[in-house]
Amino acid sequence: MNSMKNIKPLCIAFFLISTSTFGQTATQKKAEQEFNSFSFVKAIDSYQKLIETNFNNYNAMRNLGDAYIMLRQPEKALPIYAQVVKQKNVPAEYYLYYAQTLRANGQYEASKVWMEKYKDAGNHDNSYVKDFFKNEDLASGIFNARMKYDLEKVNFNTKFNDFGAVKLNDNVVFTSSRDEGVSIKRIYSWDGQPLLDIYQTPMEDASNNTTKKLEGDVNTIEHDGPATFSADGTKMYFSRNNYTNNKKITSNKGVMLVGIYSAELVNGAWTNVKPSNLNNSNYMVYHPSLSQDGKKLYFTSDMPGGFGGTDIYVTDVNKDGSLSTPENLGNVVNTEKNESFPFIYSKEQTLYFSSDGHVGKGLLDIFLALQDKNNHIINVVNLGVPINSEKDDFAYFLSPNGQDGYIASNRKGGVGGDDIYSFTILSKSFLVSGKAIDSETRKVLTSTKVILSDEKGDSINEILTIEDGSYEFEIEPPNNYKLKAEKEGYLKKTVNLIAEIPKSAEMKNRQVMDIYLDKIEIETDIGKRVDIKSISGKAIDSETGKVLASTKVILYNEKGDFINEILTIEDGSYEFEIEPANNYKLKVEKEGYLRKTVNLTAEIPKSAEMKNYQVIDIYLDKIKIGTDIVKLIGIKPIYFDLSKWNIRKDATAELDKIVKVLNENPKIEIELSSHTDCRSSAASNMLLSNRRAQATAEYIKKKISNLNRISGKGYGESKLINYCECEADKKVPCTEEEHQMNRRTEFKVLKY
- DSSP codes of every residue in 99-152: HHHHHHTT-HHHHHHHHHHHHHTT-TT-HHHHHHHHTTTHHHHHHHS---EEEE
CA triplet 1, 731, 82: central angle to 5 degrees?
60
Looking at residue 21, its pLDDT comes to 37
DSSP bridge pairs for 344: 351
pLDDT tens per residue across span 492-509: 888 877 665 443 333 345
Q: How large is the average pLDDT for residues 115-119?
A: 84
Among 12-21, 258-267, 636-645, 653-662, whose mean pLDDT is lowest? 12-21
Q: Count Cβ atoms within 10 A of the Cβ of residue 592 and give its class: 0-12 exposed, 13-18 middle, 19 or more buried.
A: exposed
- Return the sign of the alpha-carbon dihedral for residues 135, 140, 144, 149: positive
Looking at residue 527, its pLDDT comes to 41
DSSP for residue 743: S
Q: Which of 609, 601, 602 shows the shortest CA–CA distance to 532?
A: 602
Looking at residue 134, its pLDDT comes to 62
Looking at residue 148, its pLDDT comes to 64
Looking at residue 533, its pLDDT comes to 67
Give every strand in the sheet of 258-266, ordered side by side.
Answer: 224-229, 235-241, 258-266, 269-275
Query: How many Å apart are CA 700 and CA 629, to the nearest integer?
Result: 14
Looking at residue 429, its pLDDT comes to 58
Which segments of 440-532 are extended strands (E)? 449-454, 459-464, 470-475, 481-486, 493-497, 510-512, 515-517
The answer to whether 618 touches 539, Cβ cutoff 8 Å, is yes
Looking at residue 408, its pLDDT comes to 95
Looking at residue 506, its pLDDT comes to 36
Q: How large is the average pLDDT for residues 476-494?
A: 83
CA triplet 619, 624, 625: central angle to 5 degrees?
155
Q: Which of 674, 679, 680 shows the shortest CA–CA distance to 640?
A: 674
Our measurement of the distance from residue 655's CA atom to the centroid of its chain's CA atoms, rounded to an integer in Å, reads 28
Select, from the ranges 290-294, 575-579, 677-681, the one with the highest average predicted confidence (pLDDT): 290-294
The 3-state secondary structure of 151-170, one letter per residue: EEECCCCCCCCEEEEEEECC
Looking at residue 355, its pLDDT comes to 93
Q: Quick one: CA torsion of 518, 524, 530, 534, rounded to 10 degrees?
A: 0
Q: How large is the average pLDDT for residues 344-360?
A: 85
Among 9-23, 150-164, 314-328, 408-422, whose mean pLDDT is lowest? 9-23
The answer to whether 516 touches 486, Cβ cutoff 8 Å, is no
CA distances from 572 to 246, 504, 515, 533 (A): 59, 16, 24, 21
Query: How many Å apart are CA 683 and CA 717, to the nearest integer?
Result: 9
Which residue would you say has higher pLDDT here, 297 or 473?
Answer: 297
Pairing of strands 269-275, 285-290: unpaired
pLDDT tens per residue across span 208-251: 889 999 999 999 988 899 999 999 999 999 999 998 888 889 88
For helices 93-104 and 57-70, the axis angle rounded to 10 degrees is: 40
Looking at residue 286, its pLDDT comes to 96
Looking at residue 580, its pLDDT comes to 65
pLDDT category, 193, cuts 50, 70, 90?
low
CA distances from 686 to 675, 713, 714, 743, 750 (A): 8, 10, 6, 12, 22
pLDDT tens per residue across span 592-602: 888 888 887 65
pLDDT category, 1, cuts 50, 70, 90?
very low
Our measurement of the distance from residue 131's CA atom to the centroid of its chain's CA atoms, rounded to an integer in Å, reads 24
- Please give the single-letter amino acid code of residue 673: S
Looking at residue 650, its pLDDT comes to 76
Kindly write down the DSSP assignment for every residue of 537-569, as one continuous string.
EEEEETTT--B-TT-EEEEEETT--EEEEEE--
DSSP bridge pairs for 315: 297
The answer to whether 154 touches 206, Cβ cutoff 8 Å, is yes
Select, from the ranges 548-552, 668-672, 692-696, the one with the highest average predicted confidence (pLDDT): 548-552
CA triplet 230, 233, 237: central angle to 5 degrees?
50
- Return the sign of the alpha-carbon dihedral for residues 569, 570, 573, 577: negative
The answer to whether 261 touches 275, Cβ cutoff 8 Å, is yes
Looking at residue 330, its pLDDT comes to 92
Half-sphere exposure of 522 (CA within 13 A, CB side): 0
Query: How many Å apart are CA 468 and CA 217, to the nearest integer?
Result: 55
Looking at residue 322, its pLDDT comes to 94
Kindly write down the DSSP assignment for every residue of 678-703, as one continuous string.
S-S-HHHHHHHHHHHHHHHHHHHHTT
Q: Quick one: CA torsion of 58, 63, 68, 72, rounded to 10 degrees?
A: 130
Q: Check pLDDT > 90 for residue 146.
A: no
Q: How large is the average pLDDT for residues 504-529?
A: 59
The answer to whether 541 touches 504, Cβ cutoff 8 Å, is yes
The answer to whether 584 touches 558, Cβ cutoff 8 Å, is yes
pLDDT tens per residue across span 627-652: 777 766 666 667 667 667 788 877 78
The answer to whether 57 touches 102, Cβ cutoff 8 Å, is no
Looking at residue 2, its pLDDT comes to 46
DSSP for residue 623: P
Judged by DSSP in three states, 738 sits in: helix
Looking at residue 343, its pLDDT comes to 96
How many C-beta atoms surround the C-beta of residue 584 within 10 A? 18
How many C-beta atoms surround the C-beta of residue 338 within 10 A? 25
How many C-beta atoms surround the C-beta of residue 669 within 10 A? 15
Query: How many Å apart are CA 60 and CA 55, to the nearest integer?
Result: 8
- Return the sign of the alpha-carbon dihedral for residues 286, 151, 142, 714: negative
The answer to whether 162 touches 418, Cβ cutoff 8 Å, is yes
Q: Check pLDDT > 90 for residue 19.
A: no
Buried/exposed 613-642: b ≥16 CB within 10 Å, e otherwise: ebeeebbbbebeeebebbbbbbbebbebee
pLDDT category, 412, cuts 50, 70, 90?
confident
Q: Count Cβ atoms within 10 A of the Cβ of residue 357 and give its class: 0-12 exposed, 13-18 middle, 19 or more buried.
A: buried
Q: Check pLDDT > 80 for residue 386.
A: yes
Judged by DSSP in three states, 4 sits in: coil
Q: How large is the average pLDDT for residues 502-520?
A: 64
Among 53-57, 109-113, 159-163, whose mean pLDDT is lowest? 53-57
Residues in the chain: 752
The answer to whether 284 touches 237, Cβ cutoff 8 Å, is no
Q: Check pLDDT > 90 for residue 376.
A: no
Looking at residue 531, its pLDDT comes to 41
Q: Compute the 3-state secondary structure of the chain and give helix, strand, coil in percent, each to the nearest 5.
A: 20, 35, 45
Looking at residue 664, its pLDDT comes to 80
Average pLDDT, the chain: 80
Looking at residue 532, its pLDDT comes to 44
**For a pLDDT cut of 90, what percent of the chain falls above it?**
22
